[in-house]
Amino acid sequence: MVPSSRPPQVPPRRRCKRPFRPSENHASACRYHPELWTGGESSKYVGFLRKSSEPEDQLVNSEHGQGLRRFWDCCGAETEDAPGCVFGPHEGF
């Protein structure tokens, strides 16, 4: 086996969960979400959008319907594997 000329990778990082080589770390090497993957009931999430108590303004007619909504608290992305919304250097645990 021929030894690699590249330095070994450091174990996965706290923010992006990806391994990296310290020599390749820089100010925008890590793409991550700075806030939590969270969620809440749709009625709470969109409730403030109601214009009145009239039936046409209620949750059942809202774009997102009823139930639980999950999202990144920092940017509102609604898929857990959405690309990070912030760039920065890799950080350890």
Q: Where are the domains of the chain?
A: 22-49+58-88
Residues 6+ apart with CB under 8 A from 75: 33, 82, 85
Q: What is the model's pLDDT at position 62? A: 46
Residue 65 CA to chain centroid, in angstroms?
22
* pLDDT value of residue 47: 45
pLDDT < 50 regions, the chain: 46-48, 60-62
